[in-house]
Structure 1
Amino acid sequence: MSKRLKLSDLAKVVPQKAATSASKGVVISEGSETTSGKRALDDGSKGKQVAQLPESKKAKIDTRASEAPARPPIASGGGNSVRRTLGESLGPQASVMASAATGEKILAGGVILGSSLAVRSRDFAECALNQKVVAESAEMEMVRVQNWAIELEGTLAEEKAKGKKLAEDADARDKVIARLEARISELEKSQSLTQGRIIAAFKESDDFLEVVRGLASSYFGDDFDFCKRQLAHQYPDLGVDLEDVEMDHEFLSKEEVEAEKRARPKKGRRGRGVGEAVV
């Protein structure tokens, strides 16, 4: 009783039991037909009027009787023998099936096992569904991240293009500025050369002297003649024209003589110092 019966074994035993009972029923029916034939023959032997069977039917009955297996005799304990025959046909598990309570327990265990299997299959289906949902959500998240990465790549490409364009524009501006600076330097050089040439030509002209005289007379006023005399006295190499200067020439000659006298003692002192140094 402690040993549990498997559902697969139970499924195998039930068809065997049905086949055995069916075969036994056929044997019993055949046996009954044979017995009825014997009774008819006995009645004929006793002198009763019994219809004689045709030869073909007799041959069939004899063939069936010979082919049918001999049924074992039924003793007084018929229930025990049938139960023993059922136990022999069903095998060692027939003792377990003999009890209705045991069968109910087995069926209850099968129902519990089936329900547990159904629960497990349902749990497995729910787990698989959850895994599918998680996988789909992860796939959607991955797609979203991929789209975001594609957008970032596009934005980065646009920024690179803008930076490249700005760099090209800056290079173009630098080139234009360098060209303008070179042009300005050339113009300044040409302008300076032109101005130098113009100034040199103007200095060589008579207009320059008249302009200088006019400016000097307007700046110095009446004392300009005295300045001209001082310049001619201190810098005789300049060739200052003193003819048009209105001054006393005798006073000028006296000043020159006095200047020569003041210059002589200085020259004598210098000569003495040199002679003493030589001695």
Structure 2
Amino acid sequence: MSKRLKLSDLAKVVAQKAATSASKGVVISEGSETTSKRPLDDGSKGKQVAQSPEPKKARIDTGASRAPAKPPVASGAGSSAHRTLGEALGPQASVMASAATAEKILAGVILPADKEKVDKLTFDQVVTKFIHALGQGVILGSSLAVRSRDFAESALNQKAVAESAEMEDADARSKVIAKLEARISELEKSQSLTEGRIIAAFKESDDFLEAMRGSASSYFGDGFDFCKRQLAHQYPDLGVDLEDVEMDHEFLAKEEAEAEQRAAEEGAAGAEGVGEAV
């Protein structure tokens, strides 16, 4: 059966490799070296001197491999107060490379209300939930982008529909106006034709002929009577018959008075001329 690989073990291995590369090798502590392993001969007493203890074997400090590598932090006034999370953790820090790094990142993004629930979870569960939360955030962002794009497209479509509706309304109004103008011109033409036809029909009717005859007879009759009166007045010797003529006696008296006055004036003028000649 294949052994099941845990995410925590993989994270620890990656962290150890990163720490080893960052520490630039292992730290070796050397013991005191002896000049020789051979026993020293004491010439005075003839006794062998006890052999000095062997040098201690080089021990490897495994603490450097266990502890995660910490990147150096630039010293300076106020640098620790203004450092971001990325600057504090270093450029090579990642969630999968160090369990402590992952815990720091998750501790910064987890709410205090969910702290107790998260503490009960294992590292694999926390990472899984963190990745799930990131996925949900990506999905939410993509859905918001799609909705914003759809909203923009809907707004553009509504604007285009409104503009097309306005253009259609303007075209419809122009067409209606053109039809009304054509109808008015047709009505004017038909009205003029109707008036001409009515006048022509009235001229051909008997009523028009009778009206024309009455008007002509009254006009020419009145004028003819006037001429007869003038002839009778100017030339009484002609014997013009005035019996059938309606006479205006006041007008005749006035005319006679004017005629007598003119005759008297002419007689007086002639007498004066004769007296001057004598």
TM-score normalised per structure 1: 0.40
The structure whose Rg is larger is 1
Question: Which structure is higher in helix share?
Answer: 1
